[in-house]
């Protein structure tokens, strides 16, 4: 692994080499190999690592590995996902080691998944270690095209073939509920511009802008939550005539991810039959991000109107 890895790197000084070949457990299961090192092209030492494993190419895990994350959930500068000639899927994300950016350690990651299920996963940093090392250079050493060339080299496919067929992934039972982001968008006040959205039955979010800055809005819809009524609904709780409990909270740093100046408003509702809809609205464009406006895009009254709408009954799956 180390020899193959080093042969694909540009000219530079290599130190702190580490690696492992294919290992097999007593039951015959194989663990993929990896290699890591510190590379210096004269511009500063940087950690680079690469591993080879297998994944069901038709499974949900593979799909997530080569799907660019939303900037509202994972801060990054750029991300590109594509299907290459031959059917392999590739993703390159140029982001950060720490979601809250408390240290400006950059982490660039390239992932390749072949049609046969070989996964090649490489990461590089602009520091000599993944964590707890001072930043040594403005950016990691390998460019995007170099990272792509690294993970797509044929040597990794031949190594991956030695791991055998990937284990087929069992999909969880299908959820038939409506996608939360679609319901949320249908209930937003007019005049909001949606910049980003994502959702499934049970959870979704949108990033919306009223012309005064973007705000992150997320919603969870859940059934069978009546046993948590006394635990979750304490404080500023109102009980409506139909028995629905409504809890309102205003918090600083609501998601505990450290965004500067971030505030979050929560409206949590619980119907007598245990159906719960909870909405959080931030004055920032994403989780853990700095505030971009004084208050969230939605008012508390608008949030109440949205979460109490009957449409949410179709969203819990």
Which residue positions in the chain have pLDDT lower than 70?
Answer: 100, 171-177, 253-258, 316-317
Residue 255 pLDDT = 63
- In DSSP notation, 107-134 reads EEEEEEE-TT-EEEEEEEESSSSSSSS-
Residue 256 pLDDT = 63
From the CA atom positions of the chain, what is the Rg in Å? 23
The distance between the two most distant Cα atoms of the chain, rounded to a whole number of Å, is 73
* Dihedral-angle region of residue 16 (phi above 0 means left; psi in -120 to 50 means alpha; beta otherwise): left
Backbone angles phi, psi at 191, to 5 degrees: 100, -5
Residue 103 pLDDT = 81
| Residue 86 exposed, middle or buried by CB count within 10 Å (0-12, 13-18, 19+) | exposed
Are 269 and 246 in contact by the 8 Å Cβ rule? The answer is: yes
Residue 173 pLDDT = 56
- Tokens linked to 75: 């801060």
pTM, entire model: 0.74
- Tokens linked to 186: 């249908």
| Residue 166 exposed, middle or buried by CB count within 10 Å (0-12, 13-18, 19+) | buried
Residue 135 pLDDT = 94
Are 175 and 200 in contact by the 8 Å Cβ rule? The answer is: yes
């Amino acid at each position: 692994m180390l020899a193959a890895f080093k042969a694909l790197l540009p000219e530079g000084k290599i130190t702190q080499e580490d690696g492992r070949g294919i290992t097999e457990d007593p039951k015959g299961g194989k663990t993929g190999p990896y290699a890591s090192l510190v590379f210096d092209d004269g511009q500063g030492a940087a950690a680079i690592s690469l591993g080879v494993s297998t994944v069901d190419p038709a499974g949900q895990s593979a799909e997530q590995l080569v799907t660019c994350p939303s900037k509202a959930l994972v801060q990054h500068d750029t991300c590109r996902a594509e299907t290459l000639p031959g059917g392999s899927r590739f993703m390159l994300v140029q982001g950060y080691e720490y979601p809250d950016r408390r240290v400006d350690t950059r982490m660039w990651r390239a992932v390749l998944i072949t049609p046969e299920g070989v996964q090649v996963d490489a990461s590089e940093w602009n520091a000599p270690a993944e964590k707890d090392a001072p930043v040594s250079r403005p950016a990691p050493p390998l460019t995007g095209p170099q990272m792509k060339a690294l993970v797509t080299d044929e040597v990794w496919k031949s190594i991956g073939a030695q791991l055998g067929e990937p284990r087929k992934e069992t999909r969880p039972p299908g959820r038939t509920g409506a996608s939360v982001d679609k319901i949320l968008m249908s209930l937003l006040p007019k005049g909001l511009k949606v910049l980003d959205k994502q959702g499934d039955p049970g959870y979704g979010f949108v990033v919306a802008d009223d012309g005064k800055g973007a705000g992150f809005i997320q919603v969870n819809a859940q059934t069978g939550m009546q046993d948590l009524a006394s635990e979750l609904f304490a404080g500023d709780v109102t009980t409506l005539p139909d028995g629905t409990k409504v809890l309102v909270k205003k918090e600083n740093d609501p998601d505990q991810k450290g965004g500067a100046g971030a505030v979050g408003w929560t409206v949590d509702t619980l119907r007598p039959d245990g159906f719960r809809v909870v909405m959080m609205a931030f004055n920032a464009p994403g989780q853990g991000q700095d505030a971009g406006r004084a208050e969230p895009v939605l008012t508390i009254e608008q949030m109440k109107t949205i979460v109490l709408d009957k449409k949410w009954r179709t969203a819990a799956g």
